[in-house]
C-alpha cells in the first residue's frame, strides 16, 4: 500500500525476486476490502499515518517500509498499526525478499462459514431471512452466530424475541474494539443453546467500528460453524468487512419492478466485496413478475423464491423466531441455502 512511485517500483521488484505477485493499493480506502485477507501486508511509510487515521483493523504480518528519511517518521505509528517490523530501504532489501518468498497464509483457514444477507430495498425481508437461516442452522445441529450489522434496522433481537435476553450488544464491543478477545466475546453475548446473537442496543450506535467487526469475523470463523450477518443496503466500512469475509451473500428482493431496479444498484455494490452473490425473490408478485425474470435482470443466480406466509408475519409480531417450527416456505428455503453453503466447503 503506497502512493510513492519509487517505493512501489522497489517493492514490485523485490516481490518478483521472491516469486510473489502483489496486489497494489494507493491508500487505506483502496486497500480496506483486501486488507484482512492478504497473506502479507506492506504499508509504505507515506501511508502509515493515513492508515492509523483510517483505523484499519489490527492483523498479523504487517510490515511498514520506505526509504530514508521518511521511514523514520513511521516508527511512531508502527506499533499502533500493529506492524511487526519497520524495514528501511535499501538496507532491508534482502530481508524483504525473504518475507515475500515465504508469504503463505497467515494461519490455516478456519472451518466456520459466513453467510451475508441484504435487502434489495428497504423492507425486503433481509432480517427475517437472516433470522430464519440462523434458527434453521441451529436445528441442523450447527453452532451459530446471528450478527446484526445494520445500525438503522429494527434489531435482530426483536426478530428472535430476545430483547430481554442478557448479554453484551454492539456499543460494549465497540468500546473494546480490536482489543476484544474473540473467544471471550462470544461468551458475553446473548445466547440460548447453540445460537448466539450480536445486535444493537435501543440507545443506538451510529455504526459499527471496522476494527470491532474485524474481531467479530475472526471470532466467528474460529468458534462458530455458521455465522449469518444481516448487512445494510448502504454499505459502511464494517459492512464491507463482513461482506469480504463472507463465503456467500444472499440478496432478497420483492417480486416488484421498482424493487428489482433498486436491487440492481445494491447488487453492484455488494459484488465488489463478495462475488458469490445470489438472489432470493419474495412474493407476492403484484405484476406477475417471475422469480426467474428478476434473477435474469439482475444477472444473479436464483437461490430460491418465497411464497407469502401470513402465519410467519403474525408470529414475528408476537416474538416468535422465524422458521422456529421447521415448516413452511421460509424453513424449506433456509435448509436449501444452508445445504448449498456446506456443500461448497
Residue with cell 489490527: 58
Give CA–CA dist 181/24, Å, rounded: 31
For 58, 237, 260, the CA distances from 242, given in Å and listed in that order, are 15, 9, 24
The pLDDT of residue 104: 62
The pLDDT of residue 109: 46
pLDDT tens digits along 308-323: 998 898 899 998 999 9
231 class by beta-carbon count within 10 Å (0-12 exposed, 13-18 middle, 19+ buried): buried
Return the SS3 of 327.
Answer: coil
pLDDT category at 29 given cuts 50, 70, 90 is confident
69 cis-preceded (ω within 30 degrees of 0):
yes
* Residue 100 CA to its chain's centroid (Å): 27
pLDDT category at 146 given cuts 50, 70, 90 is very high
pLDDT category at 106 given cuts 50, 70, 90 is very low
Lookup: cell for 24: 497494489
Return the SS3 of 195.
Answer: strand
User: Who wins on pLDDT, 341 or 206?
Assistant: 341
pLDDT tens digits along 254-285: 999 999 999 999 999 999 989 999 999 999 99
Check whether 58 has a pLDDT greater than 80: no
On whether the CB atoms of residues 74 and 64 are closer than 8 A, the answer is yes
Which DSSP symbol is given to 2? -
Q: What pTM did the predictor assign?
A: 0.73
Amino acid at each position: 500500500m503506497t502512493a510513492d512511485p519509487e517505493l512501489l517500483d522497489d517493492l514490485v521488484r523485490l516481490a518478483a525476486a521472491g516469486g510473489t505477485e502483489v496486489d497494489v493499493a494507493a491508500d487505506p480506502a483502496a486497500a480496506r476490502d483486501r486488507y484482512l485477507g492478504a497473506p502479507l501486508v506492506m504499508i509504505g511509510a507515506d501511508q502509515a499515518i493515513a492508515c492509523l487515521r483510517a483505523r484499519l483493523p489490527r492483523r498479523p504480518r504487517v510490515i511498514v517500509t520506505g526509504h530514508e528519511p521518511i521511514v523514520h517518521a513511521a516508527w511512531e505509528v508502527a506499533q499502533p498499526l500493529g506492524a511487526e517490523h519497520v524495514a528501511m530501504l535499501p538496507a532491508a532489501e534482502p530481508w524483504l525478499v525473504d518475507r515475500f518468498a515465504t508469504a503463505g497464509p497467515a494461519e490455516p483457514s478456519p472451518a466456520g462459514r459466513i453467510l451475508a444477507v441484504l435487502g434489495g430495498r428497504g423492507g425486503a425481508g433481509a432480517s427475517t431471512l437472516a433470522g430464519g437461516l440462523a434458527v434453521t442452522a441451529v436445528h441442523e445441529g450447527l453452532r451459530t452466530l446471528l450478527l446484526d450489522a445494520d445500525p438503522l434496522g429494527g434489531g435482530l433481537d426483536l426478530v428472535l424475541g430476545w430483547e430481554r435476553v442478557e448479554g453484551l450488544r454492539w456499543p460494549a464491543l465497540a468500546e473494546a474494539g480490536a482489543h476484544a478477545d474473540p473467544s471471550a466475546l462470544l461468551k458475553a453475548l446473548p445466547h440460548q443453546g447453540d445460537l448466539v446473537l450480536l445486535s444493537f442496543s435501543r440507545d443506538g450506535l451510529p455504526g459499527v467500528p471496522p476494527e470491532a467487526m474485524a474481531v467479530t469475523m475472526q471470532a466467528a470463523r474460529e468458534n462458530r460453524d455458521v455465522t449469518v450477518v444481516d448487512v445494510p443496503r448502504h454499505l459502511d466500512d464494517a459492512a464491507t468487512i463482513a461482506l469480504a469475509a463472507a463465503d456467500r451473500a444472499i440478496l432478497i428482493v420483492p417480486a416488484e419492478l421498482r424493487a428489482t431496479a433498486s436491487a440492481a444498484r445494491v447488487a453492484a455494490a455488494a459484488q465488489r466485496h463478495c462475488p458469490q452473490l445470489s438472489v432470493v425473490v419474495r412474493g407476492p408478485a403484484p405484476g406477475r413478475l417471475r422469480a426467474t425474470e428478476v434473477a435474469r435482470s439482475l444477472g444473479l443466480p436464483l437461490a430460491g423464491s418465497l411464497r407469502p406466509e401470513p402465519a410467519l408475519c403474525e408470529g414475528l409480531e408476537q416474538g416468535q423466531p422465524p422458521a422456529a417450527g421447521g415448516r413452511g416456505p421460509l424453513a424449506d428455503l433456509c435448509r436449501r441455502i444452508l445445504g448449498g453453503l456446506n456443500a461448497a466447503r
